[in-house]
Chains A and B, each alone.
Chain A
Amino acid sequence: MSIAADDGPGMVARAFRHRSFAIGAVLTGLVIAAALVSLFWTPYSAIELAVPRKLRPPSAEHPFGTDHFGRDILSMIMVGARNSIVVGVVAVAIGCSIGTALGLLAAARRGWVEELVMRFSDFTFAFPAILSAIMITALLGPGTINSILAIGIFNVPVFARLARGAASTIWARDFILAARAAGKGQARITVEHVLPNILSIVIVQATIAFALAILAEAGLSYLGLGTQPPLPSWGRMLNDAQTFMYDAPYLAVFPGLAIAVAVLGLNLLGDGLRDLIDPRLARKR
């Protein structure tokens, strides 16, 4: 990103002195690492059943214990991390790209285009996102792809509003008038001048939307509308754990912790990024 480019090597050092950014980066890194490692190796299979080993409490052999089918919880959480990240990344990418594009269009065109985009986003905002996601997955059928679509669609208006607001303030700046005086058209100005100037805000929002998407995916899976068995997912692990609440409480603790770590990490990372990118702070350097 261009802001980082001016700052040279100081940017990274400064970033890690920022407490929320550092904690957020470590927690998020942990989740991403777990997901990456699960691609090559998990302590046990996260899918195959091993009923003789069922419901073992945490031990050296199974650090997080085993579930009612004898599967290793740690392995399931690692694979679940992968699932959560894929759903989150794709859903946010859909929402962010379509939403930002619509917001930029609205700010550039004004008039009825802007009205249409904003009223559409008001309309989608009027329905609670999770409830609508439940409705969409109930209609289209449960599954990973449909839950990605459902979460993605409800990120579109979030990014459309954010991008429209930020882009409108950029359009009012002098250098946009100067660019117009140089003969640049709307599309060119949007791509060359407006987008780079709102990118930092969009990135911060994407980080936070990512956390919300992970939470939403867990919610959908908990209700059985998200990722389907046998692939493990954090939300469904929580649902399974409910049955054994008194016999094996650790079944709920570890997936719950995983969700908390991922969401907290991404929120802190987003907060940290926002502070670091904020020009008022940047100038104090």
Chain B
Amino acid sequence: MTLLAVEDLTVSLPTRRGWARAVRDLSFALDRGQTLGLVGESGCGKSMTALALMGLQPEGARVAGRIALDGEDLLTLDEADLCRIRGNRMAMIFQEPMTALNPLQPIGRQVSEPLRLHRRVGRAEAEREAVRLLDRVGLPNAAQRAHAHPHMLSGGQRQRAMIAMALACGPDLLIADEPTTALDVTIQGQILDLVIELVDERGMALILITHDLGVIAETVDRVIVMYGGAGVEEASSEALFDYRAHPYSQGLFAALPQIGLARGARLEPIPGTVPDLADLPDACTFVDRCPIAAGACRAAPPPPLAVARGHRARCIRLEEARNRSIR
């Protein structure tokens, strides 16, 4: 049975100018042991997707569709039931390790809390397990560091502590929201390797959210490219790096610096700016910036069309996009 099945997930946020759909009709499925990347620029709805999966969307937001964890629709659960699932069956790692830990509590205590909360383990036992977890995520001198307060640790060490906290109850699903963005490059690699290693070791499913295509290439099996709240293209990461079917994905990759590019060669930007979600019409979200947009693109939101096996794009002008990419 699929671990996580998301169908037509739509998250609407109240704004002064009406409802803004931060996530629109997103669907995907994920099994234990599988890894999925959500990629896109700021404001494309990838973090909102993560929060909605956890049931942590901002107050007043409307979430529609279906989020089924082992067949159980999370959107029908009340807050108390969600609390039993969060941190237990699904856990989350945040972008900013500097601020995602309580500054007043020693990290060992913070890592042990999910265990005490969900597993009803005693304090001493939970803290011993916390030390084992901290040791596993590669925190040197874990037994001593468990007594340290967050400000005594570096960014990378804090992110390791965050990962230990997320892993405490052995979740089935791990959501990592830009887990390496706030870290410097050498640490980024280490943290990503650690996450992947732990996902393999424990047979978890992983949703990795990032704006960094390099990270995607190295770590996940499948990718969903998001734009304006919509999942515009979904493919295995190999297939996506091989061929981009959607004009937005093509633009995203064209804007990426590459080693071996001719001196003086210019990166190609995507013209225009990210749209205001409240203004987006009920059509293709990329239409205003798309180089090959046609009248039909404004008429209705494009359905996901097959590009190849397991490779779909929400674009009704796939042929034109293909010709353009060959040219």
Contact = CB atoms under 8 A, between A and B. Distances in A.
A110 B59 CA distance: 10
Q: Chain A contact residues: over half helix, strand or loop, or mixed?
A: helix
Contacts of B129: none
Given A181-B87, A197-B102, 10 more contacts: A173-B99, A177-B100, A178-B94, A178-B100, A178-B162, A180-B86, A181-B86, A182-B113, A182-B114, A196-B102
Interface of B: 54, 56, 59, 79-80, 83-88, 91-92, 94, 96, 99-105, 113-114, 117-118, 149, 162, 165
Max chain B C-beta neighbours (<10 A), residue from A2, A177, A179 = A179
Given A181-B87, A183-B87, A174 B99 contact: yes
Max chain A C-beta neighbours (<10 A), residue from B92, B99, B104 = B104
A163 to B, nearest CB: 16
14 contacts: A3-B104, A174-B94, A174-B96, A178-B101, A180-B86, A181-B94, A183-B114, A183-B117, A184-B83, A184-B117, A185-B79, A196-B102, A196-B104, A196-B105
Interface of A: 2-3, 6, 110, 173-175, 177-185, 188, 192-193, 196-197
A181 B167 CA distance: 12
A178 B100 CA distance: 6
Contacts of B86: 180-183
A267 to B, nearest CB: 27
Contact of B149 (A6, A183, A193): A6
A183 B56 contact: no
A175 to B, nearest CB: 5
Closest 4 CB pairs of A and B: A183-B87, A182-B87, A183-B86, A174-B99
A109 to B, nearest CB: 11
A175 B87 CA distance: 14
Contacts of B165: 178, 182
Contacts of A185: 79-80, 83
A55 B101 CA distance: 65
B101 A183 contact: no
Contacts of B113: 182, 184, 192
A226 B62 CA distance: 56
B83 A179 contact: no
Nearest to A170: B102
Contacts of B96: 174
Contact of B118 (A6, A183, A196): A183
B101 A182 contact: no
A243 B98 CA distance: 65
Contact of B102 (A6, A110, A193): A193
B98 to A, nearest CB: 8
A2 B83 contact: no
A110 B58 CA distance: 13
Max chain B C-beta neighbours (<10 A), residue from A110, A179, A182, A185 = A182
Contacts of A179: 102
B104 A182 contact: no
A104 to B, nearest CB: 16
A227 B59 CA distance: 50
A175 B149 contact: no
B84 A183 contact: yes
A174 B182 CA distance: 14
Max chain B C-beta neighbours (<10 A), residue from A3, A173, A174 = A174
B100 A182 contact: no
A238 B91 CA distance: 65
B180 to A, nearest CB: 16
Max chain B C-beta neighbours (<10 A), residue from A175, A185, A188, A192 = A175
B54 A181 contact: yes
